[in-house]
Structure 1
Amino acid sequence: MFLKSSADETAEPIIMNGSIIIRIMNAPRLLSRKSVLMISMELYLASIINCFMTDNYIFYGLRCQEIICGLILLTIVSRFDKIKRQINQSDFFKIMEGRLNIKIIFLAVLLFMISANDWSNSFAAPPEADKPAAAEIKPGSFEFYMKSGLDLFSKEKYNESIAEYEKALKLRPNDVDALYNTGLAFQYKKENARALELYLKAVAAEPRHYASKLNAGIALDDMGRADEALLYLQQAAALEPGRFEAYYNLSNIYLAQKKYAETIDVCKRGLSAHPVHDRLHNNLGNAYFNTGNAAEAIKCALTAAAINPKNETAFFNLATYYESVKDVKSALENYNKALEINPAHYDASLNLAIMEAEAGKLAIAEARLIKIRTAKPSDARAYYNLGIIYDMKGDKALAVKEFRAAVERDPSYAAELDPYIQKLSGGR
């Protein structure tokens, strides 16, 4: 029996690196004339109130004539529908008969002309003398070292970045941002123990610091301390239930632990925060598949592939799900799509070779397995499957050679293959 790869359970963790996550927002609505009128009225009234609350009755250049003019113009807006209907009826003289309308328009224009000399200043910023001077970052200051560290980090100069952050920490040893940024630089260097130490100091200084708890969980998981990682990731999720990162990283750990019900739960929570996160859909589909729900798994993989057409894992998983329901055509199609995205995708090549061998295309399958065996010589599965193909072709010597190579690379195959090797080699 051939050895295949199952749906991909491995995924890169999301590390909070201080970047802004842009959320999906509803498209803005067009405001009705009534809404514009009400909003404008509120703004003008707020301006009037602010005028009388300031010492000089001037609020950044907003003078009484502009306020009065604005109120009159708002009255014109409020009559806009009536005027528009009259124009549409081609009865211009009805407008002329509305003397109040003419008076209002005339007065508005007059007030505009009165304030014309000052109009350009009415909405200007306060005079230069009133503006606070831009803060100057002094060399050797905490802010100077933080900015320098951030600039170096953005250039992936992590050692130099750490050196600058450590200078900042000498000035403010308990500053949360300095602790977090230094920890992040160590985490990018794969020095998880040092990163964890800094994240925990940041959490001690600010117990509700979401990013430090999140990254502490990831560092612990990378260090093989999954149970401790879960605690920090759960705390991060509780602090910010509207963000997806903690849920995604929790799903990675739960999948690795084969806790599929928990995986489904956190994936759904993560997707409620970020519905178009393709890797969350990947993990949700994987969990459904491992609980026997291939139909839902296929839906999840299709969604992930639609969100990100370059997601090779989505197409690979989709192929394995289709293969499980005997949809050979769709399985082959999606294995090939995964390989189009990443020609070096080992597992897609492995499974495709097995499907080709099962279809009787032994030469094509053999060539594909030899290719991936060369690319990844430490993986026992290519040798194991080549041994089966050579046995099917009647070449016992080559079959024994490949089986022995498989056992050398993965001794767990010995119990299964040793008796078969003895049989094929005639007891030798």
Structure 2
Amino acid sequence: MYLMGDSDVENVAVAKERAKQEALRNASEQAAVFVESTSVVEMGTLTSDEIRTYTASVLRLVGTPQISMTPDGNGVLFRCYLQAVVDTDDFKDISVKSLGNSQRLAEENARLSREMDALREKYAKAQNEAEKQNLRSQIEQNHEHFMTVQDEEAAERFFVEGYNYEKKGNYAAALAAYQKAIHFNPCHSDAYCNLGIIYQNVLKDYTKAVDCFEKGIQANPLDADLYYNLGLYYEVIALNYDMAEKYFLKAIQVNPQHSMSYNDLGVIYHLRKNYAKAEGYYREAIKINPRNETANNNLGLVYRVLKDYTKAEECYRRAIQINPQNAGVYNDLANLYLNQGKYNDALKAVDKALSIDKKEIYQDTLGEIYLNMGQYQKALDAYSKAINMNRSFAHAYLYRGLTYEKMGDLTKALADIRKATELDPNDTEARQNYQRLQGRR
């Protein structure tokens, strides 16, 4: 509750918000006690103060807060009744940035409340109109700032709600929460960024994704993540590497420590076959963040192209050390061993990849190893598994066809390789092999 005095500087809207703020504080204090009593938050990971602060950001209001007003002496007493719930799962993967924002807003609210009370007391004791006029101006500015912070706090609650829904795969609820965050704070660039990522990576609505990233940049031109994600759109979706490079460079301009932007600049120069520049950007990404597993793996790919197999393996091993569950790195390691004719090592590496993830591309690698070992039936089985998992996998059709050729079945070989040319008309290797086999008939 909040008692609004009988004064010409009191503000009903501010009084209601202060009562609501008190109700939220009480609710978060009770919820924090519960959260601390569970095993969800490991002791030492968060302090008690951090838990209390973050709890205020993850509270979800049930229904609409009810505010009543009753006369009380020379003022009006505002009482706010609300119901809120907390989900302990929301504490399993806390965003450092969100925790910082929660702390900042809590401190700002406390400071503003103290300042409002102090200004109100000064106003009551003011000796003349000039002094009152000066205080009225300060109080009005204070009230405006307070109301803005309330909107920012509401926006942060909805943002954290969206973040937690997104982690759980509930994208519809995440979208709704992020949009509410933007409603309360049109400059919430993180909400725009996460909206764009969902539209781009999950819903494949690229127009909306780009719109979110661009609006986020308008809201906060210093948010490197927005430039980076817009660059990813041009790199991966639009295949416009010049535009992608422009946005990655912009991300680095606003944040010289943005490791992933250096990594993706490396990817662009890798695709352009400028391996020296690619190596330089990957190295810079790793220098900034030695635990950037993607950059370590990509640097290994450069060394593999350059046939520096020792350095390539070192990079792959570092990536595996960072994340032992990255199946793709084991697959790249298998291909590295395959290039060197180390077939047993290649089999061990691809088996590890398949034990983590049963992707068709790993079955394809397994088939290529067996093909090179001359174990054609095993190669055939692996390629067939890859095709059953993905009927549009042109590479698997091509190499299953080449395996049939090795086994002497030219009819099946031609059928598979023709299918590969249909699926990927730009595959020169498939087209040349098809023409070659037709000449053998």
Q: Under TM normalisation by the shorter chain, which class is it?
A: 0.5 to 0.7
What letter is aligned with 1:423?
A: G
Question: Does residue 420 in structure 1 map to residue 436 in structure 2?
Answer: yes
* Residue 229 in structure 1 maps to residue 239 in structure 2: no
Mark the runs of 5 or more structure 2 residues left unpaired by the alignment: 1-92, 98-144
Q: 2:214 aligns with which of 193, 200, 206?
A: 200
SS for the counterpart of 1:155 is helix
Check whether the contact 1:270–1:280 (CA below 8 A) recurs between aligned residues. Answer: yes
Letter in 2 for 1:289: R
2:311 to 283, 289, 296: 296
CA distance in 1, matches of 2:305, 2:236: 24
- Deviation at residue 359 of structure 1 after TM alignment: 2.4
Q: Which residue of 1 aligns with 2:268?
A: 253
Q: Could you tell me which amino acid in structure 2 is paired with residue 241 of structure 1?
A: P
Deviation at 1:291, TM superposition (A): 2.5
Q: CA contact under 8 A between 1:282 and 1:313: conserved in structure 2?
A: no
In structure 2, the CA distance between the partners of 1:303 and 1:180, relative to structure 1 (3 Å rule), is closer
Q: 1:398 to 1:148 in 2, by over 3 A?
A: closer
CA separation of 1:362/1:210 partners in 2, compared to 1, >3 Å: closer, same or farther?
A: closer
Distance 1:388 1:215, change over 3 A: closer
One-letter amino acid matched to 1:148 = F
- The 1-side partners of 2:437 and 2:183 are apart by 65
Aligned to 2:397: 383
Separation of aligned partners in 2, 1:215 and 1:19: 18
Report deviation, 1:155. Answer: 0.9
CA contact (8 A) 1:193 1:219 kept: no
Greater Rg, structure 1 or structure 2?
1
Aligned with 2:191 (options 168, 174, 181): 181
Change (3 A) 1:360 1:258: same
Q: CA deviation at 1:246?
A: 2.0
Spell out the pairing of 1:3-402 with structure 2 (5 A cutoff): 19-20=95-96, 141=151, 143-156=153-166, 158=171, 162=175, 173=186, 175=187, 177=188, 179-190=189-200, 191-224=205-238, 225-342=240-357, 344-402=358-416
* Deviation of the 1:300 alpha carbon: 0.5
CA distance in 2, matches of 1:347, 1:397: 25
Checking the alignment, whether the CA contact within 8 Å between 2:361 and 2:386 is kept in structure 1 is no
- Tell me which amino acid in the other structure corresponds to 2:390: K
Opposite residue 182 of structure 1, the aligned amino acid is Y
Q: Which moved more, 1:195-204 or 1:257-266?
A: 195-204
| Matched-pair contact (CA < 8 Å) for 1:158–1:189 | no
Amino acid at match of 1:406: A
Q: Counterpart of 1:189 in 2: which secondary structure?
A: helix
Distance 1:347 1:164 in 2: 36
CA displacement at 1:389 relative to structure 2: 2.4
Partner Cα distance (2:410, 2:177) in 1 = 64
Q: What code does the residue aligned with 2:250 have?
A: Q
Q: In terms of mean alpha carbon deviation, does 263-272 or 392-401 score higher?
A: 392-401
Give, as a single letter, the amino acid of the residue that structure 1 aligns with 2:310: A
Name the counterpart of 1:46. none
Structure 1 residues 274 and 167, CA gap change in structure 2 (3 angstroms): closer
- 1:217 Cα deviation (Å)? 2.1
User: Could you say if the C-alpha distance between residues 420 and 153 of structure 1 is closer, same or farther in structure 2, counting changes exceeding 3 Å?
Assistant: same
Displacement of 1:326 after TM fit? 2.7
Between the aligned partners of 1:358 and 1:161, the Cα distance in structure 2 is 48
Pair 222,141 (structure 1): closer, same or farther in 2 beyond 3 Å: same
Does structure 1 conserve the Cα–Cα contact (< 8 Å) formed by 2:179 and 2:191?
Answer: no
| In 2: Cα distance, 1:352 partner to 1:337 partner | 11
TM superposition outliers: structure 1 runs of 4+ over 6 Å: 135-140
Q: 1:298 to 1:171 in 2, by over 3 A?
A: closer
Deviation for aligned residue 1:211: 2.7
Determine helix, strand or coil for the equivalent of 1:394: coil
- Deviations, residues 335-381 of structure 1 (Å, cap 9, x unaligned): 22222222x23233223223323323222222222222211121222
Q: Is the 8 A contact 1:148 1:161 kept in 2?
A: no
Change in CA separation of 1:180 and 1:418 when aligned onto 2, cut-off 3 Å: same
Q: Once the 2 structures are TM-superposed, how far is the Cα of residue 136 of structure 1 from its aligned partner? A: 9.4
Relative to structure 1, is the Cα distance of residues 206 and 185 closer, same or farther in structure 2, using a 3 angstrom cutoff?
closer
Deviates more, 1:203-212 or 1:162-171: 162-171
Range that drifts further, 321-330 or 310-319: 321-330
| 1:247–1:267 Cα contact (<8 Å) kept | yes
TM-score, length basis structure 1: 0.59
Q: Unpaired runs of 5+ in structure 1? A: 1-16, 22-134
Letter of the 1:339 partner, please give it: L
Q: Deviations over 1:222-249 (max 9, x none)?
A: 4413322212211222332234232233
Return the offset for 1:204. Answer: 4.1
Shift of 1:172: 5.7
Relative contact order (C-alpha < 8 Å, sep 6+): which is higher?
Answer: 1
| 2:96 aligned counterpart, secondary structure | coil
Which structure is higher in strand share? 2
Contact 1:281 1:303 in 2 (8 A): yes
Code of the aligned partner of 2:341: K
TM-score (normalizing by structure 2): 0.58
- Shift in Å, 1:137: 8.4
The whole-number CA distance in structure 1 between the counterparts of 2:291 and 2:301 is: 17
Counterparts of 1:330 and 1:203, CA distance in 2: 48
